[in-house]
Structure 1
């Protein structure tokens, strides 16, 4: 009995022709172009992506997504609702709620008392955009960003909601946004990953929702399209350093031997994951020199460090992560995603939200200014936002100094900047209660379609066949990029 032959013989006719076609296509492509030479030249269109992409000339070559995991309170930060001061401690009218589904955390409440924001708002920028006192640095850059107040989703609990916006489906198992970009557009550099994720420390609510690898995973795409995660301490990437007694030449010989074994395995089985392993081993070897240089912030000027604020010198801080993100896109990393946790203010908004806002305010502003000064903002898209919004009514008790807010999927705020996005725009409008959208709704799949559009991708044409379905990031419903946001 030979299990290997049994496996090979078990391959179906359809599998055989599918793999054969891919193999012939790869061979034909290799005969027309020198792929190693192409990789060395590193054209801006990318190496390893789909040949038909981009679908049109992109405004953005790369993107940074600042994800506020836990859902920021839109009416305490960006969605100014002064009328609510007259509604303090009055119940949310049923005509506003309209029978909306509630979480189990507030569905049992006998009352839904209105909790106006206790934070002061002032106008900023050419259009007088209202911004909370919690975000003084954001207030200085309203003319650089597009503020979208009408984003909405169907999910009402954290895990399905964050999975939905990151992968296009509430159920786990789909590729993440960064993985789709890696798969479709390929890499622009030879020595760093195409997709990198960071999960910095936070200062606010200490009990935060968990983050799962599937939020930046490749799903049913080849695993090489998953994100590489930068760690907050020790080696930036696990096993980056050689073990004691192993030098670079020995590791090179070891990788060459492993590669020969994997190539033979691939020849016999045709499993694409074998090729993924080969490419990942090679990338790991190259990153031994590129990553230490990348994370060495001592190369930055004091003026740059000061711009990001005092926390930039603390490994694992949001400020350090933002500076690293700039250094990555400067080196043509395609997609960087920073997950900042702790935005889940079910209670004590007055204590926890200011700490959260302070954590990200200066660093996010500095990132935009830094990119702009270096001429990178025009072709780098930056996105800031969470998975859903917060309720205007208080969860639990209510006082003028303390209140909590439950999950709210019907409206929340996201901002975008650079990479083909109109600066200084405020898009969408909510009702007086920041509860329902009254103008220009933007579904999270419309938001993802807009991100793809900025990178030269028609979202309806980026799909992969799996389990008999043509699956795409934006789902099967009709979605559109938000043209009012685009240059």
Structure 2
């Protein structure tokens, strides 16, 4: 005889891993009693702590660590001292790219990003970022979760937990083509599993097959549909599973059981909503060409950025888009140029598209990697990791446009003016979303946790 556990284990409902992941939330309880609506649906919209400037986030994650001194942190002394011994040894290496003042604001941006540079007056450059980890896995995890040592919820998960979502038929947090092995960076950890990110599309070139221009394209979300059963058959099967779930509610864990039920219902609704959203055939040719989504080398990232706009427009709260391979220990000139060429036009198009749709004012767009790179050379024409000082920029969502915050030293080794730690950046992002980082907590294992732990100060100078 099958038990309820056996049935859930062996039934192939085809509702996607998102639904099954919701089961993990059964044993977790929240420190924030968010009211009856949230108890019934944990993704229901929730009021912010105070009026928000940003309603949603698009995070353009540059995996590998782009060089700040070759992109957005102009260092004339690095050019004049080229070849001299650097602060920590090694010969200083001037940037191969020319920096120019851009827009009315006069922000210094290199020729590596000529299209993005046209939006200088919308951009807020944080030139004093720093983190604790000089290696990729730890720095990436800290950038996403606030810590490198422990499994913690990601920034996107905290955002969704704090605010809910605006579209009941789509996940509130999506990660477009995340790198293999990076699930910690979009996971919910000990938050209820429904707040975790949903992976959309494969990594690298495989994304081109997931984002469809016409019918018959690949499946973007794993197991989102079950070709062996009709929609009506799946609905009946789901209703039976849900009745078993509801039979457990009198046991005293009603809110969490309801969360599991909502996970299944969301995954069922996604079968219609997600393929429609991923189908780009309805976009006009001008828009597709603007993003560079119809030709190489911008094709893949162009489609990702276009989808990011579509997800934002559809009410998804947090969208992350990853662009990797910025780790140039050698061949800086050739490979940084190739990486920038693949993403410069799509990023500029995203900013322009959001602005023309009047969405940039309440969409926080963020660009950056896990750390920067050293001003000194490595392997001739390369740079090593540098977590002591680097640049991240934001646009829209209540930030000051055409503004530069903080600074590194004359060569770009360390943050020396208004240092902005990852905790400070997280606190600032949450503030723009109307969330007080000290109040956004979740009780787990006997204590309250938050994204910034016991740290973090809002960088108020960047607020518009």
- Please, what TM-score do these two structures have when normalized by structure 1? 0.82
The C-alpha deviation readout for 1:8-63, integer Å capped at 9, x for no partner, is: xxxxxxxxxxx99989x78xx54xx6987xx8xxxxxx95366xx41101011111
Instruction: Tell me, yes or no, if structure 1 residue 227 matches structure 2 residue 204.
Output: no
- Residue 72 of structure 1 corresponds to 66
C-alpha distance in 1 between matches for 2:279 and 2:428: 34
Instruction: Tell me, yes or no, if structure 1 residue 447 matches structure 2 residue 425.
Output: yes
- The 5 A counterparts of 1:370-385 are 370-385=353-368
- Residue 12 of structure 1 corresponds to none
Instruction: Tell me, yes or no, if structure 1 residue 433 matches structure 2 residue 404.
Output: no
Instruction: Tell me, yes or no, if structure 1 residue 240 matches structure 2 residue 219.
Output: no
Give the C-alpha shift of residue 210 in structure 1: 5.2
The C-alpha deviation readout for 1:261-318, integer Å capped at 9, x for no partner, is: 2222454473976544322221111011111110111111222112111457999811
The C-alpha deviation readout for 1:68-111, integer Å capped at 9, x for no partner, is: 01110001111111222232222113xxx4xxxxxxxxxxxxx5
State the SS of the aligned residue for 1:419. Answer: coil
1:89 to 57, 73, 83: 83
C-alpha distance in 2 between matches for 1:288 and 1:66: 26
C-alpha distance in 2 between matches for 1:237 and 1:314: 24
Aligned length: 426
Give the C-alpha shift of residue 175 in structure 1: 0.3
C-alpha distance in 1 between matches for 2:175 and 2:251: 34
State the SS of the aligned residue for 1:378. Answer: helix
Indicate if the aligned counterparts of 1:163 and 1:172 stay in contact, CA closer than 8 A.
no
State the SS of the aligned residue for 1:169. Answer: coil
User: 131-140 or 270-279, which moves further after superposition?
Assistant: 270-279
Is there any run of 5+ residues in structure 1 with no aligned partner, and where?
5-18, 40-45, 98-110, 201-208
State the SS of the aligned residue for 2:435. Answer: coil
C-alpha distance in 1 between matches for 2:451 and 2:163: 14
- Residue 91 of structure 2 corresponds to 113
State the SS of the aligned residue for 2:96. Answer: coil
- Residue 54 of structure 1 corresponds to 48
The C-alpha deviation readout for 1:371-401, integer Å capped at 9, x for no partner, is: 11001111111110011110011123x2xxx
The C-alpha deviation readout for 1:194-224, integer Å capped at 9, x for no partner, is: 0000127xxxxxxxx8541010000100111
Give the C-alpha shift of residue 183 in structure 1: 0.9
Indicate if the aligned counterparts of 2:130 and 2:419 stay in contact, CA closer than 8 A.
yes
Instruction: Tell me, yes or no, if structure 1 residue 139 matches structure 2 residue 122.
Output: no
Indicate if the aligned counterparts of 1:59 and 1:379 stay in contact, CA closer than 8 A.
yes
Indicate if the aligned counterparts of 2:39 and 2:259 stay in contact, CA closer than 8 A.
no
Indicate if the aligned counterparts of 1:223 and 1:276 stay in contact, CA closer than 8 A.
no
State the SS of the aligned residue for 2:348. Answer: helix
C-alpha distance in 1 between matches for 2:74 and 2:261: 52
C-alpha distance in 2 between matches for 1:169 and 1:438: 23
- Residue 333 of structure 1 corresponds to 316
Indicate if the aligned counterparts of 2:28 and 2:190 stay in contact, CA closer than 8 A.
no
Indicate if the aligned counterparts of 2:124 and 2:399 stay in contact, CA closer than 8 A.
yes
Indicate if the aligned counterparts of 2:293 and 2:301 stay in contact, CA closer than 8 A.
no
Would the alpha carbon gap of residues 146 and 252 (structure 1) be closer, same or farther in structure 2, given more than 3 Å must change? same
C-alpha distance in 1 between matches for 2:442 and 2:353: 37
RMSD after superposition: 2.7
C-alpha distance in 1 between matches for 2:131 and 2:231: 49
- Residue 483 of structure 1 corresponds to 460
Give the C-alpha shift of residue 436 in structure 1: 1.9
- The 5 A counterparts of 1:408-423 are 408-423=386-401
Choose 1 or 2 for highest CA Rg: 1
C-alpha distance in 2 between matches for 1:47 and 1:21: 15
- Residue 173 of structure 2 corresponds to 195
C-alpha distance in 2 between matches for 1:86 and 1:236: 50
Indicate if the aligned counterparts of 2:170 and 2:273 stay in contact, CA closer than 8 A.
yes
- Residue 365 of structure 1 corresponds to 348
Instruction: Tell me, yes or no, if structure 1 residue 406 matches structure 2 residue 384.
Output: yes
C-alpha distance in 2 between matches for 1:358 and 1:273: 47
C-alpha distance in 2 between matches for 1:389 and 1:314: 24
- Residue 306 of structure 1 corresponds to 289
Indicate if the aligned counterparts of 1:217 and 1:226 stay in contact, CA closer than 8 A.
yes
The C-alpha deviation readout for 1:227-265, integer Å capped at 9, x for no partner, is: 111112321111122223x11100000000111122224
Indicate if the aligned counterparts of 1:49 and 1:182 stay in contact, CA closer than 8 A.
no
State the SS of the aligned residue for 1:332. Answer: coil
Give the C-alpha shift of residue 172 in structure 1: 3.6
C-alpha distance in 2 between matches for 1:365 and 1:459: 30
TM superposition outliers: structure 1 runs of 4+ over 6 Å: 19-23, 33-36, 312-316
Indicate if the aligned counterparts of 2:65 and 2:372 stay in contact, CA closer than 8 A.
yes
- The 5 A counterparts of 1:377-396 are 377-396=360-379
Indicate if the aligned counterparts of 2:298 and 2:342 stay in contact, CA closer than 8 A.
no
- Residue 214 of structure 1 corresponds to 184
State the SS of the aligned residue for 2:281. Answer: helix
Give the C-alpha shift of residue 186 in structure 1: 0.8
C-alpha distance in 2 between matches for 1:116 and 1:226: 42
